[in-house]
Amino acid sequence: MSTNTYELSAAEKKFVGWHVFFAVAALSVGALFGPLQALEHSGLDLYPYLKPVFKSYYQGLTLHGVLNALVWTTFFITGFLTLAVSKGLERPMKYPKLNAVGFWTMVVGLVTAAIPLLLDEASVLYTFYPPMKANWAFYLGLTLVVVGSWIEGYGMYYTFAAWRKENPGVRSPLAALGSVITMVMWQIATLGVAVEILTMLLPWSLGLIEGTDPQLARTYFWFTGHPLVYFWLLPAYLSWYSFLPKQVGGKLFSDSLARFAFWLFLLLSVPLGFHHQYVDPGVPAGWKFLHAILTYSVFLPSMMTAFTVVATLEKAGRARGGKGLFGWLRTLPWNNPSVTAQLLGGILFFFGGIGGLANASYNVNLVLHNTAWVPGHFHLTVASAVTMSFMGITYWLVPYVTGKKLISDKAAHWANWLWFTGMVIFSNAMHVVGLLGAPRRTPLGLAPYIPEEWSGHLLRVGIGGTIMFFGIYTYIILLARTAWSKKAEAADVEIPLAQAEQDPQNTPEWLDKWVPWLVGTVVLLIVAYGPQLIDQISNISLNAPGGRVW
């Protein structure tokens, strides 16, 4: 097996660093609103004190969702995948200017969307369902962020194709293959929201058409909305497969299983959006059933990932002296904050997976769909497995791109454990209070109908959210001080790219072929969405005038 010694150039490091900068900057604003939502639920409403700047709970909730779930993730992911493609393929981007155009398009989009958000002209939550109507700049800004990420994806495709041309017959390096599959999945998935905005929301907000079709808009949105979860998760999995094994002193247990999982995620991530629309009257039950089955099919690559990653950890832990059925867990390098963050994220995801499967069952979903259970669940995915993995990655990535040692490992551990502890309290309380019927997207502190049995759980929501706030701000300050402090020690950090137990060249060839998987993906999409899209588009009713409800 060849040893990858490729190092990114100073310009490439700077480019990746800019992604992380914008990602963390967005997180630093979005995270401010987390405790405000949580404390509001527990009866301490601080929004009135912020009135001159932030007008309402819903403005805060929208900023929290958009900046954390869309901006923090998308900027971090495009930067991290750029690094993974270059390192994996041992070459720079084929057209770095193309990637730069993509990135700055995203920045322009972020600024364009941020202005109406901050002016309270787009408090439509991060799902921006019509007939709630935002300022046109919000829709345009989101479109530019998505288009920018597409352009960055094209840069990765050209780079991958150039590598393939230079290396016929060689198995694609997993880090690069996983990155490109993630971008392909993202580009297919975002067609939904692109069509929604360009054909409906943008012309509607500009006054070019009079109304929208909320049912069709929701179908377009969830075409993108669920695979968006996999756009968040796959880079975390990429880290667990391609970087974490080296960090724990081991090797990836199975290169073949890892590749197979990525291909299955490409195939199965998109055609299942109707499981978010079980309560939509405009989608026939048969199509909801089909999407429910497809949703459960994603359990297969998810469990394959769990097996491969945990087996990798077990083997490494045993090599470090771990004995017994679980003794190897103790011997993993918990003193490395990058490893700890990812392990803690994985532990939280254990419960996120369980909640997700319960959500996906039709009859349970009918009862839980509009309750606090759902944000409780997705905080265990995007705010746990994903965010904690990204935190763990930045503990080596920021020193790598800045050439400075992380200023305090202790602070990183504090950030990890505070976030983890807060999330355990917060998410458990949200699940329980949701099960008791508490609605989501609601300022519960103002609601006159709160029964006594919710009170203790809502208090835990406030406590958990506050602890998480201290955790994430410890993290943000740590990164800022590392990047800008003149006292930070110089560091010679290498990218912890792992090898696999097997020579990747022995991986079956069908796991390195694009055409069958792409054809399968398109065919499955046509089967799962085609007839319903034709039906909904041919019966389109642009009769919802829309308005401002905040």
Partner 1 sequence: MSENNQEFKPKGTMAILLIFVLTLILLWGSVFLILLSRGMTVGV
Residues facing residue 439 across a β-bridge = 371
Stretch that binds partner 1, among 139-147, 175-183, 301-309, 486-494 (CB under 8 A): 301-309
119 part of the interface to partner 1, by CB under 8 A: no
* SS3 call for 448: coil
408 part of the interface to partner 1, by CB under 8 A: no
CB of 242 to partner 1, least distance (A): 18
3-state secondary structure 177-188: HHHHHHHHHHHH
Q: Which is nearer to partner 1, 127 or 502 (CB)?
A: 502
Could you tell me the two tokens for 157? Answer: 């495709």
> Before 245, cis peptide (omega within 30)?
no
Stretch that binds partner 1, among 217-225, 278-286, 310-318, 413-421 (CB under 8 A): 310-318
CB of 322 to partner 1, least distance (A): 8
Residue 414 to residue 308: CA distance in whole angstroms:
29
Known catalytic residue: 299? no
381 part of the interface to partner 1, by CB under 8 A: no
Instruction: Tell me the angle at which helices 452-484 and 10-30 cross, rounded to the nearest 10 degrees.
Output: 150
Active-site residue, from 19, 41, 377, 431: 377
Q: Binder to partner 1 among 18, 157, 289, 307 (CB under 8 A)?
A: 307
Known catalytic residue: 220? no
300 part of the interface to partner 1, by CB under 8 A: no
Q: Binder to partner 1 among 218, 315, 379, 460 (CB under 8 A)?
A: 315
Q: Binder to partner 1 among 100, 118, 162, 310 (CB under 8 A)?
A: 310
Residue 62 to residue 123: CA distance in whole angstroms:
6
Q: Which of 119, 159, 14, 38 is nearest to 466 (CA)?
A: 38
What are the φ/ψ torsions at residue 547 (nearest 5 degrees)? Answer: 175, 180
542 part of the interface to partner 1, by CB under 8 A: no
Amino acid at 480: A
Residue 368 to residue 112: CA distance in whole angstroms:
35
Known catalytic residue: 377? yes
Active-site residue, from 220, 265, 274, 378: 378
CB of 250 to partner 1, least distance (A): 11
Q: Binder to partner 1 among 10, 367, 446, 490 (CB under 8 A)?
A: 367
Burial 65-77 (b: 16+ CB within 10 A, else e): bbbbbbbbbbbbb
* SS3 call for 227: helix
Known catalytic residue: 440? yes
Known catalytic residue: 320? no
Dihedral sign (CA 280, 375, 191, 259): negative
Stretch that binds partner 1, among 358-366, 375-383, 403-411, 478-486 (CB under 8 A): 358-366
Q: Which of 121, 107, 34 is nearest to 71 (CA)?
A: 107
Q: Binder to partner 1 among 314, 379, 392, 401 (CB under 8 A)?
A: 314
Q: Which is nearer to partner 1, 49 or 350 (CB)?
A: 350
Radius of gyration of the chain (CA): 23
Q: Binder to partner 1 among 361, 370, 428, 442 (CB under 8 A)?
A: 361
| CB atoms inside a 10 Å sphere around CB 212 | 26
CB of 348 to partner 1, least distance (A): 13
Q: Which of residues 423-462 bind partner 1 (CB under 8 A)?
A: 435
Torsion of CA 337, 338, 340, 343, to 10 degrees: 170
Q: How many chain residues bind partner 1 (CB under 8 A)?
A: 28
Those residues whose C-beta lies under 8 Å from the C-beta of residue 442, and which sit 6 or more positions away, are: none
Torsion of CA 83, 88, 91, 96, to 10 degrees: -30
334 part of the interface to partner 1, by CB under 8 A: no
CB of 291 to partner 1, least distance (A): 19
Active site residues: 226, 230, 377-379, 440-441
Residues contributing to the site for partner 1 (CB under 8 A): 253-254, 303, 306-307, 310-311, 314-315, 318, 325-326, 328-329, 350, 353-355, 357-358, 361, 363-364, 367-368, 435, 501-502
